[in-house]
Amino acid sequence: MISHTRVSRRSVLRGVAGLVGSAAISSRDGLAQTGFISKRPAPSARRFRSNAVDAAIGSIAGRMRDPELAWLFSNCLPNTLDTTVSFMNGPAGPDTVVVTGDIPAMWLRDSSAQVWPYLPFLTADADLARLIEGVIRRQTRCILTDPYANAFMPDLSSGEPLSWSKTDHTEMKPGIGERKWEVDSLCYPVRLAHEYWRITHDTRPFDAAWAHAMHSILETFTAQQRKTSRGPYNFQREAFSPYDTLSEDGYGNPARPLGLIYSGFRPSDDACIYPLNIPGNFFALKTLERIEEMLAEIAHDSASASQASGLRTEIKSALDAHARIHHGSAGEILAYEIDGFGNALCMDDANVPSLLAMPYLGTCSANDPLYQTTRRFVLSEANPYFFRGTAAEGIGGPHIGQDMIWPMSIIMRALTSSDESEQRRCLTWLKTTHAGTGFMHESFHKNNPSKFTREWFAWANTLFGELILTIDKTNPKLLEKG
């Protein structure tokens, strides 16, 4: 576990504070009576306190019929705020570092996903809005430091990367924790920024530095189409696992330049087998749409907006032409990775973006027939990383290996389903596999939930909180008493 310096905040919203006081105390007392004692840090030890989030926890948990699910929700939703954020409100604007939990670094992907469930509360909590503004500003600085890096140290002037990155053969710079090029690393910050802007209408974080970061994303995506060369990025690591390094002198396995964006690594931080990752490119497509809109409406940069539009059109055309493949038993589905030479990888990984998570990220409709066929494939044993055991069933990946289910995949299955019985099964699996810890984990063994990885993994925790918030909004009778 990492030790942190506590940062406490007092909300200016006194009316919300009163709601927190009544709802949270009632919920806490009710859970205590059933034997479920809060696993949150003491209020004085929480790194950031949002009265709006606490009010929602008290209100929803107090209405839930299942005390264990209510306890899990109460522990998990605030976990990022409670344990992983460092917030500074200085003269240059807010600055927020969000570490992943047990790893003392800030992933562009994870930090965006960790705070995403809090966005609905921004209009009710000005301090929380400033915290998220600080995340956007920090991510801008990270992208400008190096658009090819996936993880950054809290001190961007530090020359000390993560311990396993110290001997990597790549262009390391101060502040970088790890330098694995992953398409989604540049997509997640745009998703967060766009939603923040949509909800708050605040344009303060979208200054000249932010516009420069968007230009850097466009340049990086274009370079990694690799139309005329392999581009500037390469990476090699001396490692036992082939998924921790790239072949071909650090440029990865060959692929034909189709107009899709090459990725060295997946959102799991595992190396791609075929460098054209399909869910990642669909996410990039949505990202370019958001960049185009924001550059046009906020930065009034029509030339760069047009560049984003042209790149989006090119990637869409390539996906339309090459993303579908015919699987021997599943029929026509989306591939996970392709190389443009006719080879395709038929699988899915628990990490997001994934094929399963496409509707969640807004890259396709949940009712799309091709998605539904693909979904049936990835939730079957035709997917080599789908595991069914006595404890649960779900998707894992090569990052942890065989028979290890990721709670994230179960959560994502529920978030992309409108089937009440399927959602109920997912909630049951999540409730019965936390091994008494009161939190989600990275993965657990399909037959033995007490065998798990990462006791402190904030992304999975707040994603579970998001699931409960979503069900409470879309199908509250699934949770409520009576």
In three-state form (DSSP H/G/I as H, E/B as E, the rest C), the secondary structure along the chain is CCCCCCCCCCCCCHHHHHHHHHHHHHHHHHHHHCCCCCCCCCHHHCCCCCHHHHHHHHHHHHHECCHHHHHHHHHHCCHHHHHCEEEEEECCEEEEEECCECCCCEEHHHHHHHHHHHHHHHHHCHHHHHHHHHHHHHHHHHHHHCCCCCEECCCCCCCCCCHHHCCCECCCCCCEEECCCCHHHHHHHHHHHHHHHHHHCCCCCCCHHHHHHHHHHHHHHHHCCCCCCCCCCCCECCCCCHHHCCHHHHCCCCCCCCCCCCCCECCCCCECCCCEEHHHHHHHHHHHHHHHHHHHHCCCCHHHHHHHHHHHHHHHHHHHHHCEEEECCCEEEECCEECCCCCEECCCCCCCCCCCCCCCCCCCCCCCHHHHHHHHHHCCCCCCCEEECCCCEEECCCCCCCCEECHHHHHHHHHCCCCHHHHHHHHHHHHHCCCCCCCCCCEEECCEEEEEECCCEHHHHHHHHHHHHHHHHHCHHHCECC
Question: ∠ at Cα 69 (376, 57), nearest 5°?
Answer: 115
346 found inside a domain: no
CA 114 to mean position of chain CA atoms = 7
With left for phi above 0 and alpha for psi between -120 and 50, is residue 101 left, alpha or beta?
left
Residue 172 confidence (pLDDT) above 90:
yes
Q: Give residue 461's domain range.
A: 391-482
Residue 19 confidence (pLDDT) above 70:
no
Quick one: what percent of the chain has pLDDT higher than 90? 91
C-alpha 113/C-alpha 115 separation (Å) is 6
223 found inside a domain: no
244 found inside a domain: no
**Confidence band, pLDDT 50/70/90 cuts, at residue 11:** very low
Residue 33 confidence (pLDDT) above 70:
no
C-alpha 244/C-alpha 254 separation (Å) is 17
**Helix 420-432 × helix 67-76 angle, to 10°:** 80
Which amino acid is present at 312?
R
Of 303, 300, 286, 311, residue with least CA distance to 220: 311
For residues 257 and 331, is the Cβ–Cβ distance under 8 A?
Answer: no
C-alpha 406/C-alpha 297 separation (Å) is 39
Beta-carbon contacts of residue 132 (< 8 Å; ≥ 6 apart): 96, 115, 118, 119, 122, 192, 196
438 found inside a domain: yes
Full-model pTM: 0.93
Mean pLDDT (whole number) for 233-254: 97
450 found inside a domain: yes
183 found inside a domain: no
Per-residue model confidence as pLDDT tens digits over 361-419: 999 999 999 999 999 999 999 999 999 999 999 999 999 999 999 999 999 999 999 99
Write down the pLDDT at residue 92.
83
Per-residue model confidence as pLDDT tens digits over 398-413: 999 999 999 999 999 9
**Confidence band, pLDDT 50/70/90 cuts, at residue 352:** very high
Task: Give strand pairing partners of 271.
Answer: 265
113 found inside a domain: no
417 found inside a domain: yes
Write down the pLDDT at residue 3.
31
- C-alpha radius of gyration, the chain, whole number: 22
Beta-carbon contacts of residue 262 (< 8 Å; ≥ 6 apart): 224, 225, 226, 231, 252, 255, 275, 276
What's the domain count of the chain?
1
Write down the pLDDT at residue 236.
98
Mean pLDDT (whole number) for 18-40: 58
Instruction: Phi first, then psi: give them for residue 427, nearest 5 degrees.
Output: -65, -40
Residue 298 confidence (pLDDT) above 70:
yes
